[in-house]
């Protein structure tokens, strides 16, 4: 079969399909080399450098070298080669030669080639998971140092699927703390996973929304209290508050209960003063204070010489 492929390769038309792909994998992972071709496969040969890896000529697939142990699998329909549990020695250049029918009954087909440059790096480590509270949700983060294109999926420990966006999943704050969360990453045809127990998430963050509500309630209470005090001071200045309340406010003075409702005049009534002023105006003069004092004294104590002498009837 090898001689037939060589002859067909020399006689193949100049425009036959070719591809070259770079593939990077991790130790212990599964890696798939998928060639592109046209037509229906009649024969396939996979080689690493110049050594055969696998071969199919329409009957049974044969494996060679280190891949005879079942670490390789050749798909005769798609032409893909899968390497299981990659090892350091698997790195290198792989080439596939596919003999495919081109639809021309008079032609024996054409050979199409694809080349894969395969590199193997250190073992694929499981991701790290951590949790925190964002808003009113519990966020789970799945972190890995892999720079290749990744796909994420999330599951509970009971295998119920969890909705997540890429490397982040959201849970309600009331989530069951006895559960475990699994982050599954697929890369290079391999899958790795990490887990996190929800009971390690900080409890103090879960009461954060209640603390915020309490703070808002405190602000509301303070605002109401300030409004009441300002209103009371305003009513005190207007004299609309009872004395026992006014005396307890800033600037208030305590008064005897009887004094709150009793007003004693400290001066003579206005109408009495006005009548006296009118009578004095009719006399044409205003009595001097000294004359009023003197006349008052004369009225109270009349002089002795002015009194008439009393004569008894016997003297007459």
- How much is the average pLDDT of 160-178? 85
pLDDT of residue 304: 45
Fold of 128-202: Immunoglobulin-like (2.60.40)
The residue ranges of every structural domain in the chain are 2-123, 128-202, 207-251
Confidence at 233, pLDDT banded by 50, 70, 90: confident
For position 14, what pLDDT does the model report? 40
For 206-219, write each residue's pLDDT tens digit.
Answer: 444 455 677 788 88
Lookup result for tokens 């037939």: 4
For the chain, what is the mean pLDDT? 75
Q: Distance from first CA to last CA of the chain, Å, rounded?
A: 199
How far apart (Å, rounded) are the C-alpha atoms in residues 127 and 234? Answer: 67
CATH topology agreement for domains 2-123 and 128-202: yes
Which pLDDT band holds residue 249 (cuts at 50, 70, 90)? low
* Cβ 45 vs Cβ 2: under 8 Å: yes
**Using an 8 Å Cβ cutoff, are 49 and 37 in contact?**
no
The answer to whether residue 16 scores a pLDDT higher than 50 is: no
- Cα–Cα distance measured from residue 32 to residue 44, given in angstroms and rounded to the nearest whole number: 16
Weakest mean pLDDT among 180-184, 225-229, 281-285: 281-285
3-state helix, strand, coil in the chain (%, to 5): 30, 35, 40
The mean-pLDDT minimum among 11-15, 33-37, 94-98, 292-296 falls in 11-15
Q: Which has more confidence, 202 or 132? A: 132
Q: How many CA atoms lie within 13 A of 64 on its CB side?
A: 11
Sign of CA dihedral 240, 245, 251, 254: positive
Which of 134-143, 187-196, 274-283 shows the highest mean pLDDT? 134-143
165, pLDDT greater than 70:
yes
Average pLDDT for 143-148: 83
CATH of 2-123, one of 1.10.3720.10, 3.40.50.300, 2.60.40.10, 3.40.50.1820: 2.60.40.10
**For strand 137-143 and strand 151-156, is the pairing parallel, antiparallel, or unpaired?**
unpaired
Q: By the 8 A CB rule, do 185 and 142 touch?
A: yes
């Amino acid at each position: 079969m090898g001689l037939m492929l060589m002859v067909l390769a020399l006689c193949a038309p100049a425009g036959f399909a070719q591809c070259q792909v770079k593939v990077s994998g991790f130790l212990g992972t599964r890696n798939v080399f998928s060639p592109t071709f046209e037509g229906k496969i009649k024969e396939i040969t996979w080689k690493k450098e110049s050594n055969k890896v696998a071969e199919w000529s329409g009957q049974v697939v044969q494996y060679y070298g280190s891949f005879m142990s079942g670490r390789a699998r050749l798909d005769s329909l798609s032409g893909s080669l899968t390497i299981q549990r990659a090892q350091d020695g698997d790195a290198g250049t792989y080439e596939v030669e596919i003999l495919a029918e081109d639809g021309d009954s008079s032609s024996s087909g054409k050979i199409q080639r694809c080349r894969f440059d395969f590199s193997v790096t250190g073992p694929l480590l499981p991701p790290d998971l951590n949790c925190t509270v964002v808003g009113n949700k519990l966020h789970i983060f799945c972190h890995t140092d892999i720079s290749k294109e990744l796909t994420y999926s999330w599951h509970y420990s009971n295998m119920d699927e969890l909705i997540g966006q890429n490397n982040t999943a959201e849970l309600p704050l009331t989530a069951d703390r006895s559960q475990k969360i699994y982050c599954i990453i697929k890369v290079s045809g391999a899958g790795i996973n990490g887990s996190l127990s929800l009971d390690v998430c900080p409890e103090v963050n879960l009461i954060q929304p209640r603390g915020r509500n309490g703070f808002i309630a405190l602000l509301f209470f303070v605002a109401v209290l300030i409004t009441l005090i300002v209103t009371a001071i305003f009513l005190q200045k207007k004299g609309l508050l009872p004395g026992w309340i006014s005396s307890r406010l800033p600037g208030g003075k305590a008064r005897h209960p009887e004094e709150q409702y009793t007003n004693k005049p400290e001066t003579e009534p206005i109408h009495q003063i006005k009548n006296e002023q009118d009578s004095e105006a009719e006399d044409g003069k205003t009595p001097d204070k000294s004359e009023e004092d003197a006349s008052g004294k004369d009225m109270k104590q009349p002089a002795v010489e002015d009194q008439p002498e009393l004569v008894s009837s016997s003297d007459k």
